Amino acid sequence: MRDGSDDDLMRRAGSGDRDAFARLMARHLPRAVALATRVSGSRSDAEEIVQEAFLRTWLKAPDWRDESAPGGARFSTWFTRVVVNLCIDRRRRAPLAPLEAAGDVISAELSGFDSVARNETQGRVLAALAKLPERQRAALTLCHWEGMTNIEAAEALSLSVGALESLLVRARRTLRAGLADLAPDNVVTLPKLRIVP
């Protein structure tokens, strides 16, 4: 069996199978970096956070219990929680100068004007996200950009569904006020942020 479920790969990694761990990393790396970038607000921090998350995953593998075992968890939920918690911990530290100040690579498929406008909008949204309290930012990121249901996001953040929904309402209200000039009639639709590797 070349591939398998996340739980199969974790069990195999726990017995020392480096190829299984490499497949698990390849499967979750792009999403983890995108999530960490949105929650932390920094691509360079996100890369370090994801490295730390995978190190913790490797160390956890020998003791892994899937969601069918008492005290176990679904891998994707557990891993998301690790990434989000590391992002929150990182943001509590003293900030470093961001690499993002250099800007994104401009896509060849857009005109120069469209690229600048998109990058400016993306920058405004990321800056507004960065100003949100940590839990609001994490809740919004998981539900809006990661496509998690409220139940999944609440589980990943160790919250009740009601508490998560309250965080979402406050986060959206704050973003709507801060980004009102981007859309007429005070309606702000959050764009899908493209994180350039």
| Per-residue pLDDT at 113 | 54
Buried b (16+ CB within 10 A) or exposed e, 99-117: eeeeeeeeeeeeeeeebee
Domain match, 51 and 134 both: no
Q: What is the pLDDT of residue 197?
A: 40
pLDDT value for 141 = 86
Looking at 41, 67, 94, the residue that finishes a domain is 94
Left, alpha or beta for 56 (phi > 0: left; psi -120 to 50: alpha)? alpha
Are 29 and 86 part of one and the same domain?
A: yes
Looking from the CA of 83 toward its CB, the CA atoms found within 13 Å total 32
Angle, to 10 degrees, between the axis of helix 43-60 and the axis of helix 6-14? 70
Could you tell me if residue 161 is inside a domain?
yes
Task: Out of 49, 69, 94, pick the residue that ends a domain.
Answer: 94
> Rounded to whole angstroms, how far apart are CA atoms 6 and 107?
33
Classify 96 in phi/psi space as left (phi over 0), alpha (psi -120 to 50) or beta. beta
**Exposure of 6 in the CB half-sphere (CA atoms within 13 A):** 17
192 token code pair: 């899908």
- My answer on whether 192 and 126 are in the same domain is yes
Task: Count CB atoms within 10 A of the CB of residue 171.
Answer: 23
pLDDT value at position 58? 92
- The CATH number of the domain where 82 resides is what? 1.10.1740.10
Cα 71 from Cα 91, distance rounded (Å): 29
* Residues 196 and 135 grouped into a single domain: yes
Tallying the residues shown for the chain, one arrives at: 197
Asked if 4 and 82 sit in the same domain, the reply is yes
What is the separation, in whole angstroms, between the first and last Cα of the chain?
A: 30
Q: What is the pTM of this model?
A: 0.59
What residue numbers bound the domain in which 139 lies?
A: 109-197
> Do 177 and 119 share a domain, yes or no?
yes
Average pLDDT per 10 consecutive residues for the chain, totaling 197 residues? 78 90 93 90 88 92 83 85 89 60 55 58 79 87 85 88 91 85 57 48
Q: Could you tell me the sign of the dihedral formed by the alpha carbons of 115, 118, 124, 126, in that order?
A: negative
Q: Is residue 65 located within the same domain as residue 134?
A: no
Whether residues 120 and 184 fall in one domain: yes
**Number of domains into which the chain is organized:** 2
Specify the CATH number for the domain of residue 151.
1.10.10.10
What is the pLDDT at residue 195?
47
